[in-house]
Structure 1
Amino acid sequence: MRPMRHLCSALLLCLSFTASADEVQVAVAANFTAPMQKIAEAFARDTGHRAVLAFGATGKFYAQINNGAPFDVLLAADEQTPQRLEDEGQGVAGSRFTYAIGSLVLWSAREGYVDPQGRVLADGDFRHLALANPKTAPYGAAALQTLEKLGLRERLQPRFVQGENIAQTHQFVASGNAELGFIALSQVVEDGRIARGSAWRVPADQHQPIRQDALLLQRGEHNPAARALLDYLRSASAVALIRAYGYEVP
């Protein structure tokens, strides 16, 4: 009888763990893909909850949420979209906070092509410059602001290749379809440095700060996993991962 008693106890423990574990549907800005995948793994390991991730452009997520998309949490690439959703009653009041501050880089997959001061924009003979759709992707808007500040927007506009989001923009450059492009630092950084190619890290004063806000959506208000994920994003282990990908944390 004793082995049977131990087996029953083990089954009860497993059932108890399963009952307490929940799932959270998360809309994640494309620039935050790599760190969020690692955070989701750690979150599952440390809490037992499961984060189901969808990646895309913040502007498109806004439209999907307004059309009833079943997301519990939004991790945006800006601060305006979560505030707008909260103001419109789609988000839980008081749940919004900045989880990361992004950095914009001008990047080429070719070694030595982009100089550390970004002079290639004015002097280079490139045919294509990739950037994300500025209407839906905050990193695309920051790229346009940078070009405006440099006085190069009108001159370079005929060379623009526009990605639907920052992930597609990175792919244009990585594949060589565009010689260079504006992307998120997090897409090309490893251990605090550019993993391959060449880049100019755009100074923060060239564009508006890319403050990326998280929001608990109304659908997730009573989901324990949704609230646990937002708490986890502010934990020391998550913050360390976020910083490792080149973001600042408030």
Structure 2
Amino acid sequence: MIRSIVVLCAVFGVCSRSWADEVAVAVAANFSAPMRQIADEFERASGHHVRLSPGATGALYAQIKNGAPFDLLLAADDETPARLEREGNAVAATRYTYAIGKLVLWSAKPGVVDDKGGVLRQGNFERLAIANPKTAPYGEAATEALTRLGLHAGLQAKLVQGNSIAQAYQFVASGNAELGLLALSQVWKDGALVSGSAWIVPESLYAPIRQDAVLLARGADKPAALALLQYLKGDKARAVIRAYGYGL
């Protein structure tokens, strides 16, 4: 019955207000801005309310395992949702890739980062911010890219780690670090760089950042959770995802 209602909502683009409910979404920090925009559009269309909890994917996994009341997970990788599915914390056959993330070298100041990332080799900076590679997939990608460039060992003393990609961004935006290896979505909107200077890191330098969504066990029978998962696959949501620089 609930799944039939979700299909009708998807077809007509609106759900009856009598079915209005709240959906709690654990969302990877890199996707918090586009997800807020998608959530606002979804709320207007459906009448449901979306409660977002951004964070590092590893930290969100730990919260889910400890009983945090989330209905959906939008991760920054594909392994964490798959692991939750294997462990019985997510609903089988609901997992899919909602975005392909991209890594960027960014400075809050114009003219600092050249179009080939040469500033990394020059080394005339004090701090390079990345997310913790143990809990944040973008941190892992940053470490991999630096290693493939042959720079990781030489820059080790200059690395500062944020608990999440959001904190790594704040280090750079505040001036506490001159550079950061971040998610492109944090500095990109509508096909252009929002501010500062940047080099989009070639995707050949790190493993594809496949970001998967999955319905968690707690949301299995919630109309709002099922409706939002369906909405994320639609054209309006996908347009927002593209606008922030993600691949699909």
TM tier, smaller: over 0.9
Mapped pair 1:202 → 2:176 = no
Mapped pair 1:174 → 2:173 = yes
Amino acid at match of 2:119: V
Structure 2 residue aligned with 1:115: 114
Structure 1 residue aligned with 2:25: 26
Structure 1 residue aligned with 2:53: 54
Aligned-pair CA distance for 1:17: 4.4
Structure 2 residue aligned with 1:13: none
CA distance, structure 2, for counterparts of residue 50 and residue 98 of structure 1: 23
The 4+ residue runs of structure 1 with deviation greater than 6 A are none
Whether contact under 8 Å (2:135, 2:164) holds in the other structure is yes
* Rg comparison, structure with higher value: 1
Amino acid at match of 1:159: K
Structure 2 residue aligned with 1:71: 70
Alignment of 1:145-156 (within 5 A): 145-156=144-155
Amino acid at match of 1:82: P
Structure 1 residue aligned with 2:133: 134
- Aligned-residue sequence identity (percent) comes to 62
Amino acid at match of 1:156: L
Amino acid at match of 2:84: L
- The size of the alignment, in residue pairs, is 234
> TM-score normalised to the size of structure 1?
0.92
CA distance, structure 1, for counterparts of residue 34 and residue 103 of structure 2: 16
- Structure 2: give runs of 5+ residues left out of the alignment: 1-14
Aligned-pair CA distance for 1:18: 4.0
Aligned-pair CA distance for 1:30: 0.2
CA deviation map 1:195-244 (0-9, x unaligned): 11000100111000000000100000000100100000000000000000
CA distance, structure 2, for counterparts of residue 226 and residue 203 of structure 1: 35
For 2:238, what is the secondary structure of its paired residue?
A: helix
For 2:104, what is the secondary structure of its paired residue?
A: strand
Structure 2 residue aligned with 1:93: 92
CA distance, structure 2, for counterparts of residue 227 and residue 17 of structure 1: 14
CA deviation map 1:141-196 (0-9, x unaligned): 00000000000000000001100000000000011100001011101112211111
Amino acid at match of 1:43: F
Structure 2 residue aligned with 1:9: none
Alignment of 1:157-236 (within 5 A): 157-236=156-235
